[in-house]
A and B are shown apart, each in its own frame.
Chain A
Amino acid sequence: MIYLDNAATTGKKPEIVIKSVNNALRTMSANPGRGGHTLSNRASEAVFEARQKVAKMFDADDDRVIFTPNCTTALNIAIKGVINSGQGIVISSLEHNAVTRPTVTVNKKGCPVKVAEVIFGDADATLRSFERSIDKNTAVVVCTHASNVSGEILPIEKIGALCKDRGITFIVDAAQTAGVLPISTKKMNIDFLCIAPHKGLYAPMGTGILIANSEIHYPLIEGGTGVNSYSLEQPSDYPERLESGTVNLPGIVGISAGIDFVNSKGTGQIYLSELALIERLYNGLSKISGVILYTPKPQKNKYVPLLSFNLRSMPSDMVAEKLSLMGFAVRAGLHCAPLAHKRMGTIDGGTVRVSTGVFNNINEIDAFIRAVSKIKK
């Protein structure tokens, strides 16, 4: 199987991640931050080490690194945890359902929601769109760093500056970019950064990270934290305030190893090599008649390494099914992002999405192009 569904999760995990997860289960299988025995302390140390690595990579304070079950949970904690009834929220027109669905819920609780149109290929126009959508009632802006459908990178540094200027909480969905593009939560004025480490950081599935630079007023999950147990109220100290229940120790150790892996390759280098494969794919597909491409040729710093396409003569899910039978893993349909498909004009049937990872190579891309050409015939 040639795996080209890395935007869903990086399919092949580095050996260092696999070994680290295995080692965690063998040598520190205890509850971190709970017991006082050697194994528990060893587990606590491993979790703290991971926090430090995440904090360094995303320019944040280590006690503000929260480990969650996935990026969706991180987004829910942030969105539902900061907004009060009556306050307004602005989201982009490329958001994933991980953002839109919690937003619909807060809307039902009396929070008006506005959608800022993303203008493809024009970051300044997109910024102006956010400026127009924000009003005096806006308390929160939620924005994806890059679309999981079109691959377009949004100008989050500029939007972050705008939010800071207006005193608005800024939440960023970095599911497609963390580990792929450099992110500084401080320079970009990000209050809450939501990360899918099982994607660009090559960690195991079932892991997520929330970097909470600002206060969460209403924790989504409350319960045991291993400290302050007499109190019936949730503690105010971070990260424990947002980490009730046993954390995913093997997964967190996997995140730690994944960061080491990405750092050893260099974030920029991984991005460039993956993007080069997408450019090659774009060139190849654009020569096949009947292939519909929805973006200009992906360029550095404008797109993350993924590409959506369709065949004029066949629904996207049928194309993906045929490709699967030929040994290729891709994702078809709406990619849990109906807003983005509506914006792209592909809401009826979606697209076939190809997304590269660090382990893909030119031969695999060429084989994929040949396979699409064969299906087309």
Chain B
Amino acid sequence: MAKKGGDNMNQNFAITGTVTYAIKGRDALRRHGYKAQLKRTVNSIEGAGCGYGVITNCKADIIEVIFNKYGIKLLKIVEHGVEG
């Protein structure tokens, strides 16, 4: 089955902070047909320190909608490779 968002895996990095939210976010994105992988973020949030997030091919605005739907806290979304 073709995944949504095409083959570009490294499109966005949705930073959640906690690993719990990151796993929930990854699972939510996958349920909606997107590719999503758990990733550790070291010092990727200015002034915040370590944390976790999800690399996904889902667009930023859709990530926000999906995370909001499942009550998953989202700190920020960055283009993967720019931060994290």
- Enumerate chain B interface residues (CB-CB to A < 8 A): 17-21, 23-24, 38-40, 42, 47-52, 71, 73
Which residues of B sit under 8 angstroms from A40, Cβ to Cβ? 40
A106 CB to nearest chain B CB (Å): 29
Contact call B24/A227, Cβ cutoff below 8 A = no
Interface mask (A59-94 → B, CB under 8 Å = 1, otherwise 0): 001110000000000000000000000000000000
Other A-B contacts than A63-B24, A238-B20, 11 sampled, CB-CB below 8 A, are A41-B38, A44-B38, A48-B19, A48-B23, A51-B20, A227-B17, A227-B49, A228-B49, A237-B20, A239-B20, A240-B20
Contact call B50/A227, Cβ cutoff below 8 A = yes
Alpha-carbon distance A150/B24, docked complex (angstroms): 42
Which residue of chain B has its CB nearest to the CB of A65? B20
Number of A residues, CB within 8 Å of B: 25
* Given A36-B40, A237-B73: A230 in contact with B49 (beta carbons within 8 A): yes
Contact call A63/B40, Cβ cutoff below 8 A = no
| Candidates A61, A62, A227, A230; contact of B19 at CB < 8 Å | A227
Interface mask (A159-177 → B, CB under 8 Å = 1, otherwise 0): 0000000000000000000
Which residues of B sit under 8 angstroms from A239, Cβ to Cβ? 20
* Given A36-B40, A41-B38: A229 in contact with B20 (beta carbons within 8 A): no
- CB<8 Å pairs between A and B, sample of 25: A32-B19, A33-B18, A35-B40, A36-B39, A36-B42, A40-B40, A41-B38, A44-B38, A48-B20, A63-B20, A63-B24, A226-B18, A227-B19, A227-B49, A228-B17, A228-B49, A229-B49, A230-B48, A231-B49, A235-B17, A237-B17, A237-B20, A237-B21, A239-B20, A240-B18
| Candidates A35, A41, A61, A237; contact of B18 at CB < 8 Å | A237
A33 CB to nearest chain B CB (Å): 4
Contact call B42/A228, Cβ cutoff below 8 A = no
Most chain A C-beta atoms within 10 Å of own C-beta, residue among B20, B50, B51, B52: B20
List A residues 22-55 near B (Cβ within 8 Å).
Answer: 32-33, 35-36, 40-41, 44-45, 48, 51
Alpha-carbon distance A37/B51, docked complex (angstroms): 13
* Given A35-B40, A48-B20, A63-B24: A227 in contact with B47 (beta carbons within 8 A): no
Contact call A231/B23, Cβ cutoff below 8 A = no
Which residues of A sit under 8 angstroms from B38, Cβ to Cβ? 41, 44
Which residues of B sit under 8 angstroms from A36, Cβ to Cβ? 39-40, 42, 52
Which residue of chain B has its CB nearest to the CB of A41? B38
* Given A33-B18, A33-B19: A228 in contact with B40 (beta carbons within 8 A): no
| Candidates B23, B51, B71; contact of A228 at CB < 8 Å | B51
Which residues of A sit under 8 angstroms from B73, Cβ to Cβ? 237
Alpha-carbon distance A235/B40, docked complex (angstroms): 17
Most chain A C-beta atoms within 10 Å of own C-beta, residue among B19, B38, B39, B49: B19
Contact call B49/A44, Cβ cutoff below 8 A = no
Alpha-carbon distance A239/B39, docked complex (angstroms): 19
Which residues of A sit under 8 angstroms from B42, Cβ to Cβ? 36
B19 CB to nearest chain A CB (Å): 4
Which residues of A sit under 8 angstroms from B24, Cβ to Cβ? 48, 62-63
Closest 9 A/B residue pairs (Cβ)? A36-B40, A229-B49, A230-B49, A33-B19, A227-B51, A48-B23, A229-B50, A44-B19, A227-B17
